[in-house]
A and B are shown apart, each in its own frame.
Chain A
Amino acid sequence: MSAWWVVLRKELVDAFRDRRTVLVALVVLPLAVPLILAGMSALGAKRQARQLEGTLELPVVGAEHAPNLIAWLATQDVRAMPPPADPDASVRRQERDVVLRVDPAFGADWRAGRPAGLEIVFDSSRPLQSGATVARLRALLESYDRQVGTLRLIARGVHPSIVQPLRVGHRDVATPESSFDLAQQMLPYLLLLLAFIGGMQLAVDATAGERERQSLEPLLATPASREAIISGKILATAVFTVLSLLVTLVMYRVAFAVMPAERIDTSLALPAPALARLLLVVLPVVLLGAAVLTALAAFARSHREAQGYLPLLIFVPMLPTLYLMVAPVKTQAWMLAVPFLGQNQLVLRILRGESIESWEWALSLGAGLALVALAWWLAARLYHREQLAASG
């Protein structure tokens, strides 16, 4: 029996007897992640439905200047409400999402055939709250604009198509799964975060904890090489993390299966083959996390110091997600070789139901595993330091 296998088995037995580690990794996290995502998805779908389909209660300033417009809006399920005293401030204070302001000269301009003024007051930094409403209002006003314009042209004996040189149609080529919402953007990040630091408890306990409990020195006095010992510890961490991810993804599926379909974005429910592909994509991240955490635990002087690096480790997988949010660029080959960024792209593509070429698999897995080798080497180097065990 190889030493790494002996260490791997012992660390897993040890971890599974630690009720707190098991509870967090195999119960709390797998329940929390799907609930957060399913909840976000349900809320998002509900809000969108309300903004797009329900009666829109719209505060209107100067409604009396445009009674016909207000009446027409009412036929389109938009009810004009009395405006707040200071519309701009009220939107800025987030008391109202959208306010429509009618220019006092609206009536006079309208009758004179001049463009009559309307103003939509909203806060573009809160697209979730007002985006759909603003789009709906704008579409309605444009439609009214076109109707009245057409009528005026006909009244003057001009064919309306003379002012419509273009006819623009829409054809959406998105696959059914690619309609995005916030929950879908969160999933890759949560998945990568879980993969990267899900084994924190085990990895820190297996090195920093071992040293603090004074069992590292006897361990290093056995013939097992340092490389074999860290390999066992890293692999034990990885096995545990994969298990945690597997339970999480299964719970995720269950959560989306039991929720009423009309309430959620069904594009987030993963079919089983996608689940397996997701696990394969994040496998290098799992191993990288296990190796980095082990190196960190060997570098830190104590359990507490090792856990102090946690915020930094949470931040690293976030970087590509943030990058993709501000610069949602087309997937390019080099990105697949960048850790986290590549996995993030591939996870998104699996969620969208797109296929992944075999060279893309090779590039992503190869680059990931090369980095794992580097982290493993670093952990081994740190395990060879005399200070590691000889702290007393």
Chain B
Amino acid sequence: MVRAHEDAAVIEVQALAKSFPTRDGIVRAVDCVGFTAADGGITGLLGPNGAGKTTTLRMLYTLMRPDAGRVLVDGLDPAVRPDEVRRRLGVLPDARGLYKRLTARENIAYFGRLHGLDEATIAAHTSRLVAALGMAEFIDRRTEGFSQGQRTKTAIARALVHDPRNVLLDEPTNGLDVMTTRALRQFLRGLRAEGRCVLLSSHVMQEVAALCDHVVVIAHGRVVAQGTPQELRAQTGCANLEDAFVRAIGSEEGLYS
């Protein structure tokens, strides 16, 4: 499924920083974030709301330029080769609006064409994603009036239509019901099994604990701890991951939302 590649697919983030001017002065959204997300694994960015997860991801998919530090996708710098980096990424941003006057299939095909795929490839990839995500029932309906779950599935299929080696998902299970969440987790494990590099952000402990091989805990724009769930528990001396998380970020702020 995944094209053979000379070197391992990885996402590297090195000493990343980004600040924004606001009315009340400069906000350092990302202060010093560094981690590596490896091939064939699911890496989770865990942190309370406003910790800098979305901004970090946005710098990865070239929507923003870092003030300092750098990111590498398969060894490529987005600042130098933005289009090539975007070609290698499948991105589910926090904003995941669909075109309501197009059907789910047309939404997906639009992005396939923007990735430069031919119609046959788009059709093949779409039918595979429809099967994997369970979209057969609504694939040819216009997306106006879709449920949250149907919208998220369509947005994920759209993000993955070009069969990317690296998959970025910003809060993928936000607003989904239990059944859809379970199905989505199963789908993400499938991506891992195919050898892809999956990087997701979440503020939900259970999500990260259930899915991720590697957890990066972010608070106030900094990495405060990282490792496997077991390592995190060991580092903080806490028996369960939630306590470890609270200990790591130093507060319960933003944990339950």
Contacts and interface: CB of A to CB of B under 8 A. Distances in A.
B95 A223 contact: no
Nearest to B158: A218
A13 B156 CA distance: 23
A225 interface: yes
Contact of A13 (B96, B102, B158): B102
Contact of B63 (A7, A18, A221): A221
Contacts of A1: 113, 116
Given A225-B83, A389-B95, A220 B102 contact: no
A5 to B, nearest CB: 9
B155 A218 contact: yes
Contact of A217 (B93, B110, B113): B93
Contact of B111 (A14, A18, A214, A218): A218
Contacts of A312: none
B94 interface: yes
A390 interface: yes
Interface size class, chain B: 20 to 34
B26 to A, nearest CB: 15
A221 B166 CA distance: 13
Given A14-B101, A386-B64, A390-B63, A218 B95 contact: yes
Interface in B104-145: 106, 110-111, 113-116
B87 A217 contact: no
B160 to A, nearest CB: 12
A251 interface: no
B65 A386 contact: yes
B208 interface: no
Contacts of A392: 54, 94-95
Given A14-B99, A14-B102, A223-B86, A390 B115 contact: no
B182 interface: no
Contacts of B9: none
Contacts of B111: 218, 222
Given A18-B101, A223-B116, A225-B83, A218 B64 contact: no
A221 B101 contact: no
A7 B58 CA distance: 23
A195 B95 CA distance: 34
Nearest to B85: A223
B237 interface: no
B97 interface: yes
Interface in B54-109: 54, 58, 61-65, 83-84, 86-87, 89, 91-102, 106
B63 A389 contact: yes
A2 B21 CA distance: 37
B114 A223 contact: yes
B110 A6 contact: yes
Nearest to B116: A223
Interface in A21-68: none
Given A10-B110, A18-B101, A223-B87, 10 more contacts: A6-B110, A10-B102, A215-B98, A216-B97, A218-B95, A218-B96, A218-B159, A223-B83, A223-B86, A389-B63
Interface of A: 1, 3, 6-7, 10, 13-14, 17-18, 210, 213-225, 386, 389-390, 392
